[in-house]
Amino acid sequence: MLLSSGRLRLMRALASEHGGVSRDVALRELLPLHTADIASILRAMPDGPVYFRLVDPPMQSFLPSLQEVDEELSSARAEENWDEMLALNGLRRRYASLLATNPSMGYRGCRLGLTQPEVLRMQVTAVLQAALQVGSEGIIAEPGILIPLVSSEEEMRAIAELIRGIADEVFAAAGRDAPYQLGALIELPRAAICAGAISRHVDFVCIGTNDLTQMTYGLSVQDTSRYLTWYLQHGIFTHDPFVTLDVEGVGYLVSMALTNIRKCAPSMTIGACGDHATDPASMFFLESLGIDFVSCQLEGIPGIQHALAQLPHKWGTDTHEIEEVDTHGS
């Protein structure tokens, strides 16, 4: 949602204060837009949980590429537009300060939410205001707020307290409450090991199999083309671990996480998100662990339906039962 038309300009201003828009102004303008987007989703998916993942990628991902900045800088120089050159040079410096050597393991997810809480505050407020809005229309809304990249109980406790404090403020201002849930996205090996302790502070948990695979293998899904074919041809890998879940390693962590969560909270809802949900073998394994729901990108839903149709399980093929919405996606 935050990458869509009208929002990206404000997210870039939020990241860089470029374009003459301050962070405070960008946040104020984003809030009603984000609230409207979320309300439209809740109206389309009533009478069931809808999980909204908060901003996950690093702030640099919202900025134009350095090549784009340099091209604009060249144009401004040719036109002798000194004010624009000054602004673009500032943007270039800001980009350099945000640039991470390894973005997937950098300043993102809950780390961003804890250290720049104004972004998290805007998103949480949007989710809860949207729930209040559609609730006043007689629609039963059940939003869940999903926190990405959690690695420890201490992190989860701190961000849960922050979010629940924001919720108290939103409900006090509105003069009424709305139901919501708080969840943790388990996508790091340490989070999988400590999932039981993390689950004490949330209402639901989702296992992020894509990032958990990357972090467990030490692989980048963007770079596997350089060697994956050779590994498969020579029997080092029997399958692409980003297509079919690695049961022996990643699957062990998933199983451990679910076991520890259920020791602490036997009735907690536990789901899985990621591309593995479209693979029948992976789905068979996840269902054997008792996963309650799966989710993926919109284009992957036919794949999930195909995978589910091949399994003798409790679900059926209704993938709208519970859905996860990526609030930074398009």
31 found inside a domain: no
157 and 282 in a single domain? The answer is yes
195 and 214 in a single domain? The answer is yes
184 and 70 in a single domain? The answer is no
5 found inside a domain: no
184 and 166 in a single domain? The answer is yes
- pLDDT value of residue 103: 61
196 found inside a domain: yes
256 found inside a domain: yes
- By the 8 A CB rule, do 245 and 251 touch? yes
Residue-range definition of the domain harbouring residue 79: 59-99
- pLDDT value of residue 47: 83
238 found inside a domain: yes
Q: Classify 128 as helix, strand or coil.
A: helix
Alpha carbon distances (Å) from 52 to 9, 92, 143, 183, 189? 21, 32, 7, 9, 22
- pLDDT value of residue 323: 44
pTM above 0.75, yes or no: yes
- pLDDT value of residue 330: 36
261 and 170 in a single domain? The answer is yes
10-residue stretch averages of pLDDT, the chain, 330 residues long? 58 57 78 93 90 75 69 81 74 66 71 87 95 95 94 96 97 96 96 97 96 92 86 94 95 97 95 89 91 80 75 50 45
110 and 233 in a single domain? The answer is yes
134 found inside a domain: yes
- pLDDT value of residue 318: 44
Tracing tokens 């919720």 back to the chain, one arrives at 167
* Residue 120, burial from CB neighbour count under 10 angstroms (0-12, 13-18, 19+): buried
The count of structural domains within the chain is: 2
113 and 259 in a single domain? The answer is yes
- pLDDT value of residue 170: 98
322 and 191 in a single domain? The answer is yes
What's the CATH number where 46 sits? 3.20.20.60
Q: Alpha carbon 42 to chain centroid distance?
A: 18
- pLDDT value of residue 129: 97
323-326 and 269-273: which strand pairing?
unpaired
